Amino acid sequence: MRSQYDLNSMTKKLYIILFSLLLSTTLTNPLQAIEVEVSGTKKIAVEITSFQGTEAALLQKIVTEDLRRTLMIDPVTSQGSYSVTASFTGGALVGKLSDSTRGSEVFNRNYSGEMRKMAHEFSDDILEALTQVKGFSSSRIAFISGTQGAKELYTMDVDGANIKRLTSDKSISANPAWSTDGSSIAYMSYRSGYPDVYVIKLAQGIRTRVAGFPGINSGPAFAPEGQQLALTLSKDGNPEIYTISISGGAPTRLTRTRGTETSPSWSPDGKQIVYNSDERGSTQLFTISSSGGEPTKLNTPGSYSAEPSWSPDGSKIAYSARTGGGFCIWVYDLSTRLAKQVSAGLGEDPCWTRNSRHLVYSKEGSLYLLDTVTKQSARLDNGLTNCTEPAISR
């Protein structure tokens, strides 16, 4: 018989979920102006001229807000250093970026597919052409919300549109994680009355329970190759880090301590896993080979470092740290072995976008985007309340 897991030894994240107040609101799908929290950094001025064709006004609004959300581009209505034009006819988008100073064309590309997806891809191409930084507007965000009275799993576009509710467990869901190819999401749910790990194949709408061992099963993270998960299991006593096939089966134990190990995140080459542990007293970050071995403690300052996220370029690890009266977002540089705070204010649950510069995180029940270089952040409105634990697709 399975036993309930002792709340005193649960992770901070699950503890908060169990005891947070569940708010409810009407599900909406707004396209609101972006609220930028910190400003003052010089941006590239890009003139957005009148788009042509069907749905032109909506397309222009989507691209304008996408570019503003990058926190690197300032969309203007006149006298920009660059200009953007587009036409949408016959279900196809033709987008053009020009250098206003030189009077030359930067690119002129055709896009096909669903309208919103084309607009986001056009925005991503503009950002990369002007800054050499990959765009993230075409990514999707998985997150947890208590809007409907229980902690359920949702996905949305980065601009807060196209919201989809993936679960109706009427229980507690947590720890969403994308597969590298964006085809699947792993998460933890109490739908059976116990904390189990599931994988949802999005195209097929198929959900499979991958880990349902006695005790806690939580914090799944896909390996880069997509066939394994790292996760926390307490089936052998203390909560430890294991790996397991996405189809289930016998797990492989990696850590062996007297503490609690949670929140695994893979290095992009799949050779290492970073996680947090309180084995030495306070909660700190450690790395371990994905095949097991001796863990290495990271030199992060402070008494509490948790929720690590390894950047796609492999150079750094984002995490949340207790700073003063709350939690802030920090980044640990693996080459210098130094850490610095990158959020201007509070924040938790950091997750890297595909460009290893921007992060998505949560604060006070809302989701935010953060430029780790300028420390600017923008709220991601989605019409939902009590939103936590964002995970963004690559």
The rounded average pLDDT for each run of 10 residues, N- to C-terminus, in the chain (394 residues) is: 37 37 33 42 90 94 97 94 95 96 96 96 98 98 90 97 95 97 97 97 96 98 97 97 96 96 98 96 96 96 95 98 92 97 95 98 97 96 95 96
How far, in Å, CA of 390 to CA of 387, rounded? 8
pLDDT of 325: 81
In a domain, 210, yes or no: yes
**Residue 381 maps to which CATH number?**
2.120.10.30
pLDDT of residue 31: 40
Q: Hey, which residues does 373 pair with through a beta bridge?
A: none
| Inter-CA distances, 373 with 41, 133, 189, 288, 370, Å | 10, 12, 35, 28, 9
Query: What pLDDT was estimated at residue 12?
Result: 41
Question: What are the b/e assignments for 40-52, b being 16+ CB within 10 Å?
Answer: eeebbbbbbeebe
The answer to the question of residue 59 being in a domain is: no
Give the total number of structural domains in the chain: 1
pLDDT at 117: 97
Domain span at residue 300? 7-30+137-392
Q: Which of 120, 171, 162 is nearest to 144 (CA)?
A: 171
> Would you tell me how many other CB atoms lie within 10 Å of the CB of residue 291?
11
User: 3-class secondary structure for the chain?
Assistant: CCCCCCHHHCCHHHHHHHHCCCCECCCCCCCCCCCECCCCCCCEEEEECCCEECCHHHHHHHHHHHHHHCCCEEEECCCCCEEEEEEEECCEEEEEEEECCCCEEEEEEEEECCHHHHHHHHHHHHHHHHHCCCCCCCCEEEEEECCECCEEEEEEECCCCCCEECCCCCCEEEEEEECCCCCEEEEEECCCCCCEEEEEECCCCEEEEEECCCCCEEEEEECCCCCEEEEEECCCCCCEEEEEECCCCCCEECCCCCCCEEEEEECCCCCEEEEEECCCCCCEEEEEECCCCCCEECCCCCCCEEEEEECCCCCEEEEEEEECCEEEEEEEECCCCEEEEEEEEECEEEEECCCCCEEEEEECCEEEEEECCCCCEEEECCCCCCEEEEEECC
Contact 278, 360 (CB under 8 A): no
**179 Cβ contact partners less than 8 Å away, ≥ 6 residues apart:** 185, 186, 222, 226
Report yes or no on 72 lying in a domain. Answer: no
Q: Are strands 44-48 and 73-76 parallel, antiparallel or unpaired?
A: parallel
Task: Give the pairing of strands 44-48 and 82-89.
Answer: parallel
Does 221 fall in a domain? Answer: yes
Quote the tokens at residue 48: 């957005």
In a domain, 178, yes or no: yes
Residue 111 forms part of a structural domain? no
Backbone angles phi, psi at 2, to 5 degrees: -80, 145
Asked, for residue 373, whether it belongs to a domain, the answer is yes
pTM above 0.85, yes or no: yes
The reply to whether 102 falls in a domain is no
Of the CA atoms within 13 Å of residue 91, those in its CB half-sphere come to 3
